[in-house]
Amino acid sequence: MAKPAPVYLDPLRLYLSPMAWLSLLHRVSGLLLVLAAPYALWLLQQSLSGPAGYDAVAARVQQPAFKLMCLPWLWALCHHFLAGLRHLFLDAHRGLDLPRARRWSLGVMAGAGALSVAILAWWLA
């Protein structure tokens, strides 16, 4: 006899493995990159429109508030890159056993956060 489906399922109380969190965050980071692309392309277009456009974009990019607003995009870029490298290793049949896959997943998540904060600290200096 099959178990009845739960009437109320609280997603915050579910246990997700590190690999599931990595997969979920990989999708979120990809979405953030896609959503940020039009703005980045607009900034590029403005900077290439002429000296006045370049100066306007350069002034905007140097503002600390702009740099802090770039933190989610920077995290998404770092996370997506590191998770993509992990996928390449998995395609090469490296790190497929469960303990190593957990370590890789936690390492990618921690590494993406640390790398994005390090890049932001370098950019703010």
- The per-residue pLDDT for range 74-99, each reduced to its tens digit, is 999 999 999 999 999 999 998 889 99
At what angle are helices 18-48 and 98-124 packed, to 10 degrees?
Answer: 30
Confidence of residue 6 (pLDDT cuts 50, 70, 90): low
If one compares 26 and 95, the residue with the highest pLDDT of the two is 26
Give the domain range for residue 114: 19-34+63-124
Asked if 102 and 19 touch (Cβ cutoff 8 Å), the reply is yes
Mean pLDDT within 61-79: 92
- pTM, two decimals, is 0.81
Contacts of 47 (CB under 8 A, 6+ apart): 53, 54, 57, 58
Q: Give domain status of residue 52, yes or no.
A: no
Q: Give domain status of residue 45, yes or no.
A: no
Cα dihedral across residues 73, 75, 78, 80: positive or negative: negative
Q: Give domain status of residue 6, yes or no.
A: no
Q: Give domain status of residue 92, yes or no.
A: yes
Has residue 102 got a pLDDT over 70? Answer: yes
Find the CATH number of the domain harbouring 94: 1.20.1300.10
R_g over Cα of the chain: 20
Number of domains in the chain: 1
Cα diameter, the chain: 73
99's tokens: 């303990």
